[in-house]
Structure 1
Amino acid sequence: MLRRILAVPAGLIAGIICITIIEKIGHYLYPPPAGAGSGDMETMKEYVMQAPFMALFFVIIAYTVAAFVSGFTASKVADNGKHTSAAVCGAIFLFITIYMMFSLPTPVWFWILGILVWGLVFAGSKLALKK
């Protein structure tokens, strides 16, 4: 029972770590303006509207890796043979992603990929459940 309870936080933490690392690489290659990291939403909106394709694509890459790792981690920790924990992680990340896409002026391709990639939690979960 405890493993199933801890599986979702473990999957979320693993996913957050992936997103943080990959987005830091993206920010190193495509630095945002100085005020973008300080919570200034207007500066961030301007940056997203003018950001190069690869700067935004790094976020999609981060989401992709996070989805797979999150699903894998949640299913390994739960160790119950089900995809439930991975699905919960995917749903939480999906809601956060949609909220961020509503908050920032992201292009249509970002919306499509930003929603689709969270289905990869099931690929990670399936790999974790292989015997």
Structure 2
Amino acid sequence: MFRSILSVLGGAAVGVFTISLVQFLSHQLYPLPTNSNPNDPQAMATFMTNAPVAALLLVLLAYALGAFFGGMVAARYATARPVLHALLVGALLLVAGIANLVQIPHPLWFTVISLAIYLPMAFFGGMMSMRRMP
């Protein structure tokens, strides 16, 4: 039981780290305007409506990679039902993604894709982790 909890928490931590790393790289390519305040919801809403599509696609890539690697880690260290542990990581990241979507308005197409990306990518990560290597 304890190992299951640790595998899900570890997978979620790897997922959040991966998302943060890819988003950091995305911000290097597409920085916020110098006069904007990231803590101001109105300024962020304005930025999101005018953000380049490539920047939003990089954010979606971050979500996909985070869910994939987080699911992979959770499934790798789970003692039983590895795919279930991977899906739990995907569900935790989905809840965090919903909280982000509620706080900062995003385009509709981005919202739909981001909500649909976490669970399948965590599932694929869990399935890939089941291919154990010696």
User: TM-score by structure 2 length?
Assistant: 0.88
Aligned to 1:2: 2
Aligned to 2:123: 122
Residues 15-94 of structure 1 mapped to structure 2, 5 A cutoff: 15-34=15-34, 35-37=36-38, 39-94=39-94
The separation in 2 between residues aligned to 1:12 and 1:31, in whole angstroms, is 26
What is the CA-CA distance between 1:108 and the residue it aligns to? 1.8
The separation in 2 between residues aligned to 1:27 and 1:97, in whole angstroms, is 18
The separation in 1 between residues aligned to 2:113 and 2:128, in whole angstroms, is 22
Q: Runs of at least 4 residues of structure 1 off by over 6 A?
A: none
The range that moved more, 76-85 or 65-74, is: 76-85
Structure 2 stretches of 5 or more lacking a match? none
Structure 1 stretches of 5 or more lacking a match? none
Letter in 1 for 2:102: F
8 Å contact kept, 2:76–2:82? no
Q: CA RMSD in A?
A: 1.5
Distance 1:86 1:55, change over 3 A: same
The separation in 1 between residues aligned to 2:29 and 2:66, in whole angstroms, is 20
The range that moved more, 40-49 or 115-124, is: 40-49
Distance 1:120 1:103, change over 3 A: same
- Answering whether residue 98 of structure 2 is matched by residue 107 of structure 1, we say no
8 Å contact kept, 2:75–2:126? yes
Aligned length: 130
Higher helix share: 1
What is the CA-CA distance between 1:110 and the residue it aligns to? 0.6
Q: What secondary structure sits across from 1:64 in the alignment?
A: helix
The range that moved more, 14-23 or 41-50, is: 41-50
What is the CA-CA distance between 1:50 and the residue it aligns to? 1.1
The separation in 2 between residues aligned to 1:82 and 1:11, in whole angstroms, is 11
Superimposed CA distance per residue, residues 73-109 of structure 1 (whole angstroms, 9 cap, x where no aligned partner): 0111113243222111111111221222222221122
Letter in 1 for 2:40: D
Letter in 2 for 1:128: S
